Every structure is written in structure tokens, then in C-alpha cells.
Amino acid sequence: MFISKLLFISFVMYAQAIADSPKNVSCKVSRVTTESILITCDIQPPFAYTEYSAYFTSNNTTWNFTSEVENNCTSERPYVNLTQVNNKQTTCLLKINTTQLESGNYDIKLTASAEGNDSSETDVESDSIRIYFPKEIQTPVCTEPQYDEENCPSWPKKTLCILCVAAVPPGEVDCRLFYTSGSMTGSVYNFGAKPHMLADNDNSYTYAAKCTKTVTSSMLNDGIDIRANFTKYIDYGNTSVRSIVSASFFFETPKKINFTVNDNPIGVCANIGENVTLKCATDGAPTPRKFLELGPSLDNVYIVNNFPEPVMTWTIRSSSIYGYFMCYADQYEQRISKSVYVVAPDQILGTESQKNYKLQYTGHNYDTSYVLIGVTGCPEPLSLTLFRKKNNNVKEALTDGVSLSYKSTPQIVKSSNQYKALGFVNVTFLNKHMTLDSPTYILHVSNGISNYTILEFSVYGAHNSSATPLSNSLTVFLLVLALFNVFTF
């Protein structure tokens, strides 16, 4: 069961006039040591005092409370003559001794009082500072490696730092970090892990302990496993029990990058004046710096912006923007990148002058064949219709025995001084008889821009029924038989 205590810190201030009374009192935890918590309280606006007194109450609690005060606020003597007035604000530094604290929740408030010449008084109370001391060690959390001069000071150059934190009861806590990176193993022992304060919302804090491990870029390239052990001897009446809580984490240099435009991983078309949404994310840790590049081709790009946020909106202001958009991430002299394209909407057109396509086969018995017909244009086709051309030039629409699909590619090509998206129409023939005698087909393709495009083509390389491939066992048998005939001739 948590123990809740309420500490009131009151200041009685004798001001020249009630108009100078305090209007705002704010407090925050400023520093944590192994034996104390330092709280800074600022009182605004400034006052023109000649003297003041301070006293403290703590609801008759038994734990010790001491105070150290800087600037125009002190607790060393109840009455102090001020020789200089702070013209900005009054700042008080309060020190709470944690060596005799029990586990539980603590609320701390400061009340500032100003008394005018007419004996009227104004009180202003600060918001509560809530500090939670766990009864047992909580599960540790290790943050991704980052440059951290506060927790891992280094010289002459910055060092990457892994910070592991666990909420703990008051008192001394030990921490050991076990690590493995490639063929390297070891541990870092922190006797008396440094105290730490986890900030929550609404001026709430949790008492914690922290320990660190510095890492190198080569360790992150190989990947590093970290196991954090926090240890504390906890008293239960007449007995003391050693409590150990562990958690494991893995960090490595980013290896993958995910970049999309309007949630499309390949590319889109957009009119001039329209906005596109770019999203760029990486795996691994630490999070690398990301940059956006634009250019008509991947060999001719230039940096236009960094990527401080995962999502960026970009306006297509002119035709010069069309082309490739690339997001790349730099980390330790390594670079990973991915590109998408943005092109102008355009009618679907054929890309090749050839009219005769060689069939490609899938399946074990040459039962399925297909051809890929290159096309340009954006957006993707809305309708695909295949006709078979007969001798009398009569077209026969095919609905059975054929499958039509469109496959986009991450490539763009320049045609008629304009960059266009490149894709392929996959025409799959499900029956062998449909490709015999080099038939001619007519493909109607439409993406909603202008009329449909007519692509006429023929296929060759068909296998008839007698061309069914031999089974493996039969092939081996015939080969052995042929060799036998050669050597017995």
C-alpha cells in the first residue's frame, strides 16, 4: 500500500503594497543526487521587500526535510535584511533528503504569501509536484543509441550512448549491463547506479536509477544485444532480500528504408498545383538524418530539404518538379536510400515498336504462357480488354482462357520531352491452343485519360501437345540407353 504525504512550504513576505503580491508560483525538479532531490521554485512578479520570513510545515510527518535557498530566498535565518532586490523573479532552491523516505506517493506544494501595509494578505499556491517512489524495482528500459553529452560525456569527439533506466525504491541500486556484439562480449558494472527522475505528465515524477554503455559504429553495424540488470537489497521487516530485475534489448544500424508518395511505394501522377504526401521511415537505431532529393533522373538529383518529420507535404509547382523523389539516410558513413516518382497524368501508350512477342512459360507442362507488353502512362489502367484477330479481320473478345493484369515499375522514361511512368501489361494464356499458329491479338488499354489505346501484337514460340517435356526419370533412362548404344556399337 502506497504512503501518501503532503508537504506544504510557506513563505510569508512583507511587501510594500498588496499590488506587489505574488501572482504565479511554479516548481520543478531540477536535480537528483544519491541522497536528495532538488526542487526549484520561481515566484513572480518581483517584489520590493525590506524583509521577509520563511517557515515550513509537513503535516507532522516524521521524515526529515531540509532546505537550501538561493537568490532572494533563504531558510538559514527566519528574518533576513535584503540588500539587493531581484528585478526578475524570486527563485528558491529546496533540498529534500531521500535517505529516510519510504516507498509511496508524495505531493509537494509551495504557498507564497504577501502582506500589504493595510494588513491585507494574498496567498498563491503552486501546482503539486507528485513524486512516486516504487516499492520494488520496475522493468528497465534502454533507449536507442544517441549522442548524449549529459549521460556519456566524451572528448574530443562525441560518443554514442545507450541509456538504461528503471524505476526503483529509495536508496542505493546497482546496475550491470551485459552486451554482445559480433564476437565481442562484456559487461559494464555501475555500483550505485546514478539516481534519475522520470518525468510524466502534469508535473509528476517517478524516482529511478540509470546506467549507461558507450558504443561504437562498428558495434552497431554488427548489432548489439544489451541485457540490463538492476539489483537492490530490500528490507522486509527483519530480513533483507536481494531483488534483481532484467530486460533485454537489441540495436543495430538502420538497414531498411521505407519511402512512399501518397502511400504508394512506387510512384504517382499529380497535376501542377496538387500536393503529394511523402513518408520516409527507417528501421534500426539510432535514427539517422534523412534528406529529400529531387531530380529528373537518379543520376541527376539535388538536395532540396531535410526530413525532420516522418511525413512531408510537397506541392508540384511546375513541370520541372516531375521526376524522381529520393529519401536517403546517412549514418556512420553509410547511406541507404529509396526513390519514388511523381509524373504528370498521361494516356497509356505502347513503348515498343515490335509487334511480335516470344512466349514465356510457367508450369510443369508448358500449360501456361505469357508475354509482357511495355506501356507508359499514369494513372494505372482502369480497363484491359483482349481480342483475337481472325483471318477476315473480325475481332473476337476473349473472356475465358486468358488473364490480364498490370504491373507497375519504379522506373520512369523520357518520351516526347516528358517523363512518364513505365509499366507492363501481363497477358497470360491459360490454354495451349490459344497460342498455336502465331495468332494476332489486339489489346485495348484505358486509364481514363483520352480514348483507349489499341496495341496490336502477335506471339510465337508456342509448344504443341507433342512438345510436352519428358519426365526426369524418362530423360535419365533415354540418356543411359544412348550411351549404352554408343559404347556397344
| CATH code of the domain containing 246 | 2.60.40
HSE-CB for 55 with a 13 A CA cutoff: 3
Residues 423-472: pLDDT tens digits? Answer: 999 999 988 888 888 888 999 999 998 888 889 999 988 776 444 444 44
| Shared-domain flag, residues 105 and 167 | no
Predicted model pTM: 0.62
The secondary structure of residue 137, as a DSSP letter, is P
Which residue bears the cell 539587493?
84
Residue where one domain finishes, among candidates 317, 342, 367: 342
Q: How far is the first Cα of the chain from the last one, in angstroms, to the nearest whole number?
A: 100
40 or 379, which is more confident?
Answer: 379
Most confident of 16-20, 38-42, 261-265, 389-393: 261-265
pLDDT at 97: 74
Same structural domain, 7 and 129: yes
Which of these ranges, 154-163, 178-187, 205-214, has the smallest mean pLDDT?
A: 154-163
229 and 332 co-located in one domain: no
In whole angstroms, give the CA distance from residue 312 to residue 262: 10
Residue for grid cell 514465356 = 360
More confident residue, 482 or 185: 185
Which CATH number characterizes residue 312's domain? 2.60.40.10
Least confident of 379-388, 393-402, 421-430: 393-402
Same domain, 262 and 244: no
pLDDT at 406 > cutoff 90? yes
Domain with 376, as residue range(s), is 346-466
Q: Which residue has the cell 515566484?
A: 43
Report yes or no on 485 lying in a domain: no
Q: Over 50: is that where the pLDDT of 190 sits?
A: yes
Q: Given a cut of 70, is residue 15 above it in pLDDT?
A: no
- Domain identity same for 401 and 298: no
Pair 332, 384 in one domain: no
Provide the pLDDT for residue 275.
96
pLDDT the model gives residue 52: 36
Q: Residue 89 domain-assigned?
A: yes
> Looking at 80-94, 242-256, 269-283, 311-325, which range is the least confident one?
80-94
Clarify whether residues 84 and 179 are in a common domain. Answer: no
For the cut 80, the answer to whether the pLDDT of residue 272 exceeds it is yes
The structural domain count of the chain equals 4
Judge whether 203 lies within some domain: no
Q: Do residues 83 and 14 share a domain?
A: yes
Q: Match 532531490 to its residue by C-alpha cell.
A: 37
Is 151 in the same domain as 214?
yes
Whether residue 489 is contained in a domain is answered as no
Q: Is residue 479 part of a domain?
A: no
Examine the fold and report which residue of 342, 377, 409 is the final residue of a domain before the chain moves on. Answer: 342
**Does a structural domain hold residue 484?**
no
Of residues 106 and 65, the one with the higher pLDDT is 106
Out of 342, 367, 397, a domain closes at 342
Residue range 54-100, pLDDT digits in tens? 333 344 443 444 443 333 454 333 333 333 334 456 677 777 777 77
pLDDT (average), residues 297-304: 71
Q: Which residues of 236-263 are buried (b: 16+ CB within 10 A; e: fewer)?
A: eeeeeeeeebebebebbbbeebebbbbe
337 and 305 within one domain: yes
Best-predicted range by mean pLDDT among 85-99, 104-118, 147-161?
Answer: 147-161
Nearest CA among 316, 319, 312 for reference residue 273: 316
Whole-number Å distance between alpha carbons of 373 and 357:
8
pLDDT at 339: 92
Residue 337: pLDDT over 60 = yes
Residues 435 and 354 in one domain: yes
**Judgement on whether residues 111 and 167 belong to the same structural domain of the protein:** no
Count of all residues that appear for the chain in the document:
489
Spatial neighbors of 436 by CB under 8 A, at least 6 apart, are 462, 464
Determine, yes or no, domain membership for 200: no
Q: Domain for residue 22, yes or no?
A: yes
Q: Average pLDDT over the chain, rounded to whole?
A: 77
Whether the predicted pLDDT of 380 surpasses 60:
yes
Confidence class for position 229, pLDDT limits 50, 70, 90? very high
